[in-house]
């Protein structure tokens, strides 16, 4: 790829950032603010039930005496949980962004201006896809990482009040560099995993007369219902292959972990961190993340996405032929 192509793509992606500030800039900032707001409110409410923070500070001291592995698991789980909301909203908002990516300029006829510029339809479609796969995840990841840093700073204040070393108690067990690398790699691989979904929505956006997101949902839903009806009529059984369920399963099985499975045995009133267990899927390392690249369904999805993107470019090229 030439330097000119890269600079053109970057300029087009900056245009997307300028035209969609709500989805790409303000949404992650608002999620970060709300996350920190609820954390602070929870701490304030908890302080009202804990006179002089006696129980809280005792729990922190006990936590500082736990084995390093237990502290690492707990802190990593908290930081993963803090970032979960960002990545869930990322997927949702990216789907809505892509649904209007090739439709809005057809709707307001600004496509006539953009097509008058020396930029090919391939570059336009590629820039919008790269915005969804690279730029948007980068913005949400940055907001999530800043939120994690603030959470650790809050924990540092509580650690100092409890008389423990916050560096060895919170910061070192958090393993921030490794955590951030895993999250960044996970978002990249996840973009590939979702590529057929993204391409399908862009394909619908390139030709839909109105409300592309509804059309993108209605078509696979209608096909799924027809498959169910035919299977019940012909063999009184459920279909073995259902396109709607396949798409839902792909959306539901992203790469980046977004849930914390914590089980606590709280029969006693004392905090016991050794009873906390986390789901194995939560703490994915890089080998686990990249193992998704070896799945056949990953590359089958990429091949389907390329076909759909070619269709989106074809419709984009003929959008002003009438």
| pLDDT, tens digit, 9 for 90 and up, residues 11-39 | 999 999 999 999 999 999 999 999 999 99
Mean pLDDT, residues 219-234? 84
Residues 6+ apart with CB under 8 A from 317: 121
Q: What is the pLDDT of residue 15?
A: 93
User: Residue 77 pLDDT > 70, yes or no?
Assistant: yes
Mean pLDDT, residues 261-286? 45
User: Residue 259 pLDDT > 50, yes or no?
Assistant: no
Tell me how far apart the alpha carbons of residues 305 and 244 are, in angstroms, rounded to a whole number: 16
Q: What is the pLDDT of residue 194?
A: 95
- The residue with greater pLDDT, 234 or 167, is 167
Q: What is the pLDDT of residue 227?
A: 82
Mean pLDDT, residues 113-138? 93
What percentage of residues in the chain have a pLDDT greater than 70? 88
Mean pLDDT, residues 266-281? 42
Q: How far is CA 312 from the centre of its chain?
A: 24
The model's pLDDT over 114-125, given as tens digits with 9 standing for 90+, comes to 888 888 999 999
- The residue with greater pLDDT, 267 or 29, is 29
- Confidence band, pLDDT 50/70/90 cuts, at residue 175: confident
The model's pLDDT over 280-302, given as tens digits with 9 standing for 90+, comes to 344 557 888 888 899 999 999 99
Q: What is the pLDDT of residue 266?
A: 39
The pTM is what?
Answer: 0.87
Mean pLDDT, residues 219-228? 88
User: Residue 318 pLDDT > 60, yes or no?
Assistant: yes
What percentage of residues in the chain have a pLDDT greater than 90? 56
User: Residue 141 pLDDT > 90, yes or no?
Assistant: yes
- CB 319 within 8 Å of CB 106: yes
User: Residue 277 pLDDT > 90, yes or no?
Assistant: no
Query: Which of 65, 271, 52 is closest to 164 using CA atoms?
Result: 65
Q: What is the pLDDT of residue 281?
A: 46
Q: What is the pLDDT of residue 218?
A: 94
Query: Which of 174, 111, 188, 104 is closest to 145 using CA atoms?
Result: 174
Mean pLDDT, residues 90-103? 95
- The residue with greater pLDDT, 249 or 201, is 201
- Confidence band, pLDDT 50/70/90 cuts, at residue 258: very low
Mean pLDDT, residues 252-262? 56
Buried b (16+ CB within 10 A) or exposed e, 209-231: eeebbebbbeebeeebeebbeeb
Max mean pLDDT range (41-55, 127-141, 238-252): 127-141
Q: What is the pLDDT of residue 268?
A: 44
Tell me how far apart the alpha carbons of residues 20 and 287 are, in angstroms, rounded to a whole number: 34
Separation in Å, CA 194 to CA 63, 145, 223, 251: 39, 23, 20, 7
Residue spans of the domains in the chain: they are 3-317
């Amino acid at each position: 790829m030439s330097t000119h192509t890269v600079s053109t793509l970057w300029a087009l992606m900056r245009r997307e950032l300028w035209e969609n500030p709500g989805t790409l800039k303000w949404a992650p900032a608002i999620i970060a603010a709300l996350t920190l707001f609820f954390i602070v409110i929870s701490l304030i409410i908890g302080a009202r039930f804990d006179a002089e923070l006696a129980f809280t500070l005792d729990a922190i001291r006990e936590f500082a005496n736990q084995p390093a592995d237990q502290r690492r698991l707990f802190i990593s789980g908290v930081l993963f949980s803090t970032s979960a909301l960002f990545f869930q909203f990322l997927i949702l908002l990216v789907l809505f962004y892509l649904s209007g990516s090739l439709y809005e300029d057809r709707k307001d006829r600004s496509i006539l201006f953009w097509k008058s510029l020396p930029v090919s339809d391939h570059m336009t479609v590629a820039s919008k896809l790269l915005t969804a796969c690279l730029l948007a995840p980068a913005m949400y990841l940055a907001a999530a990482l800043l939120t994690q840093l603030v959470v650790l700073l809050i924990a540092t204040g509580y650690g100092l009040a409890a008389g423990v070393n916050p560096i060895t108690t919170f910061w070192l067990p958090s393993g921030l560099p490794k955590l951030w690398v895993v999250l960044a790699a996970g978002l990249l691989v996840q973009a590939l995993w979702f590529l057929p979904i993204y391409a399908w929505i862009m394909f619908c956006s390139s030709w839909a007369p109105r409300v592309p997101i509804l059309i993108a949902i209605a078509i696979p839903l209608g096909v799924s219902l027809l498959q169910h009806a035919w299977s019940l009529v012909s063999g009184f059984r459920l279909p073995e292959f259902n396109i709607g369920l396949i798409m839902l399963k792909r959306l539901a099985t992203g790469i980046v972990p977004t849930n914390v499975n914590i089980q606590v045995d709280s029969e006693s009133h004392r905090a016991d961190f050794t009873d906390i267990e986390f789901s194995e899927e939560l703490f994915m390392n890089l080998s686990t993340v990249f193992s998704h690249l070896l799945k056949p369904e990953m590359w089958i999805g990429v091949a389907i996405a390329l076909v759909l993107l070619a269709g989106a470019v074809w419709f984009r090229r003929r959008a002003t032929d009438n």
